[in-house]
Structure 1
Amino acid sequence: MILLDGKKTSAELKVEITEAVKELKKQGKKTPHLAAILVGTDGASMTYVNAKVKACEMVGFNSTLIDLPEETSEEKLLQEIENLNTNNDIDGFIVQLPLPKHIDEQKVLMAVNPDKDVDGFHPTNVGRMTLDLPSFLPATPYGILELLERYKVETSGKQVVVIGRSHIVGRPMSILMSQKRPAGDATVTVAHSRTKNLKELTLQADIIVAALGIPEFLTGDMVKDGVTIIDVGITRIDDETKKAGYRLAGDVHFESVAPKSSFITPVPGGVGPMTIAMLMKNTLLACERKS
């Protein structure tokens, strides 16, 4: 069993991005600049945004954080987005989700300039991805592809089951892995909460991407020997034995699944760090496209 180490791989990626930034500066070109908009005080969102700002510093990017109060109107948020769309120094930006309930998430995502949409959520980028045209890939699926490639996991002709159909992970993952690419050429099945006989599907799978948000859902009796497991989930579970009072669990029951796996991502330290690294990579790409 080999751990797909996202922490180590993302660190390698950040070194590569740092070198690319140094080269841009050496050539007299602009420094990549990533902006983030955070609305409200959701704890997880604040943690994610701070991690992204820290990653920018690490690789030599400029970064801007626009911190807005919970009661910010939709109109005000759309104005902030338009300011970033028209600011030539900003190469890419993200609007941290989820947004407060009074704001239409879809309207906000549609307002982002697709050329600066480094999260890869705008319909223009999703459409281009689907047609296998150059686009910004959503950071989490992009990170998974990178892990599979760097660990030389064989995907061509393999049976892949993606559990979860979200626009952020499940659906783009299924599209990307079915395309002709190094971590692709697979036969992909998308499963979800209405799927019948899910265990029958997972027992046939060579690769399983678990992205449904139910802690420790996938258990050892649901997988075959030699399977590759990508665990996208991360949930806090109360645990009095831990100093913090909780532990982090993925969508996979690691103890029972790992012994049967050829490759498996840990939680934490698997897919999570890759997501931030690929956001940096998309921002670098946005900057290079402009120069």
Structure 2
Amino acid sequence: MTPAAALALLATVAAPATAQLAPAVAAPTAQVDPAAATFRMTGPVMQGGLIVVHAPRDAVSVTLDGKALPLAPDGLFVVGFDRDAGPQAMLAAVLADGRQVTRALAVAPRAWRIERLDTLPRFPAPDPVMAQLRPAELARIVAARALSTDAQGWRQPFVWPATGRISGLFGAQRIYRGEPGAYHSGTDIARPTGSPVVAPADGVVILAADHPFTLEGNLLMIDHGDGLNSAFLHLSRIDVKVGDHVRQGQTVGAVGATGRATGPHLHWSLRWRDARLDPMLLAGAMPAQ
């Protein structure tokens, strides 16, 4: 056999083996989006704060510390943290395929303004008129907060319902002879009587007092949806009625000094379910005057 023939024979024999050793092409794999299986949120996770949360993709239900929360079709919902909220909370979601996704939240504590009054008792002398009227007033407030509306204001960045000097801070508390009194449940804004009060976000009116309450005076409450509502106290007048849909920035009343007030101001309080929230965390810094 000639050298050329021998080389040709080797090439013929080796070709199949070479083909068998060729590396296999890997099958394409599905790309997994890590963000699809997590909670995404905006807002401060702290006492008195409110966060807007985007549930994991394909979530069919969500809970906070085991309690069910409403979930919008686009996967959004809100969570509020009470002034005295504990250091931890747990979000959980059940996905369409039955899997569960959880996220532990570390709730930041706040340093509240505490005033100690060692010479005054906690409770003043009993007021018989208030004792008679107060139960019915509280019942109206509780009934209003229990209403469910189609409001979507919870999705919006909040604005201040009035601008002016902040004269009372959310969470401030007095200690009377070592016994703590109730903390301040809202933010006070000092303004002259008659100054306009506007809706801080879209909402539905759930209470518009037809006469002054003993403590709150002329009281207006607006539901912003998803368990979030505002209350405006001491108004000199109310310009809307129960059931009205109001838009952010719409005038809804005027500053006054009705009820228990030492001077004209707006007391603005916010609640998410039973959690009392700090309005300054939602509305941000007070605009310059």
TM-score normalised by structure 1 residue count: 0.25
Higher relative contact order (CA 8 A, sep 6+): 1
In proportion to residue count, which structure has more helix? 1
| Larger Rg over CA atoms | 2
In proportion to residue count, which structure has more strand? 2
